[in-house]
Amino acid sequence: MYESANVADDADRTAFRRAEKKYKLYYEQDSKFTRKKKLPKPIDLSELLDFNLISQDYNKNGVLPDGIRVSKVDSSPVFCIENRPGFYFIPGALSLEEQCKWIKESLTNFPQPPNRTNHNAIYGPIADLFDSAKDNKVLVQEDLTNNKWKFYEEEDIAKAKQSSRKSVSASVLLRKLRWSTLGLQFDWSKRNYDVSLPHNNIPDALCQLAKTHAAIAMPDGEEFRPEGAIVNYFGIGDTLGGHLDDMEVDWSKPIVSMSLGCKAIFLLGGKSKDDPPHAMYLRSGDVVLMAGEARECFHGVPRIFTDEKNTEIGALESELSHESGHFFAEYIKTSRININIRQVF
């Protein structure tokens, strides 16, 4: 049922790269199917850590798998991996209400200027992207010299004599939204924080949530200071390659990472990509902390699950539809959002 990797092809790959390749989404190569109808190739998921099941087992029987321990038990257990000190996994840490709130914020307010997104490089600042997509608007280049763009109703483009200009639909731009930054702005070209860039502060409610979850990973007597955040947006087939988050000054302070939307696979490697990574599920509402030595570990997301059988977000979709109409639910049913909050200095 499962295809084994070609040994010769893998000979020059690191352990981390082999795991990325193993779990990445590939389609069956069958000429009967178009790309949209291609079936995902089956993969062996038996080695993945499932902290949801581990938590259920622990709550019921007090039993833990080898190499896993409980760091602290409050309203719910916090799990650690013995050979990855500084890594904490809190399954189901966010309530359904909190998940809905931060999905909506991530799509409406977090990409708002002056916060930067991946679209800035081509289109400059784009305001009200989500609402424009919902209203089927089109972004049109008005001024070639200064690269100014403006949203139009589709039927108004010809009237405004803009039909010959470059244009792109808001719905396409929303689906191509890959990241936004809030708080102190991260400059991806220079790979550092540019304190001179204007920005919106991280919302107080999100700061408080991050402080609450970060507390277990903080050095004694210190409180987490949320100063910057990067929001990642994943669609069908999107991945996040193995990397380090190493631009913050003090690695003893955790990165607080909140998962929203479709289930994903997360790889937690070691200090070298030659170290075999732990593979685990990330579900909507899970929170991960990486502090101290764990900050030196390569990590990434090789896959999100967007098929209805594996997304595990039925309750979330229903709640979003009930609260805010179908548009948020339609977006999240094939998407994952990750909010990771950092103390920069």
Binding-site residues: 243, 245, 299
State which amino acid sits at residue 2.
Answer: Y
Q: Supply 96's token pair.
A: 């359904």
SS3 108: helix
The span from the CA of 271 to the CA of 254, in Å, is 17
Annotated binding site for Fe cation: 243, 245, 299
Peptide bond into 254 cis (omega under 30): no
Handedness of CA 316, 317, 321, 325 (dihedral sign): positive
Q: Where are the beta strands (DSSP E) in 210-286?
A: 228-234, 240-243, 255-261, 264-268, 278-282
- The DSSP-derived string for 168-189 is EEHHHHHHT--EEEEESEEETT
Q: Of all helices (H) and strands (E), which one includes residue 304?
A: strand 299-304
| Alpha-carbon distance values, 268 to 5, 11, 83, 196 (Å) | 21, 21, 11, 33
Contact 174, 118 (CB under 8 A): no
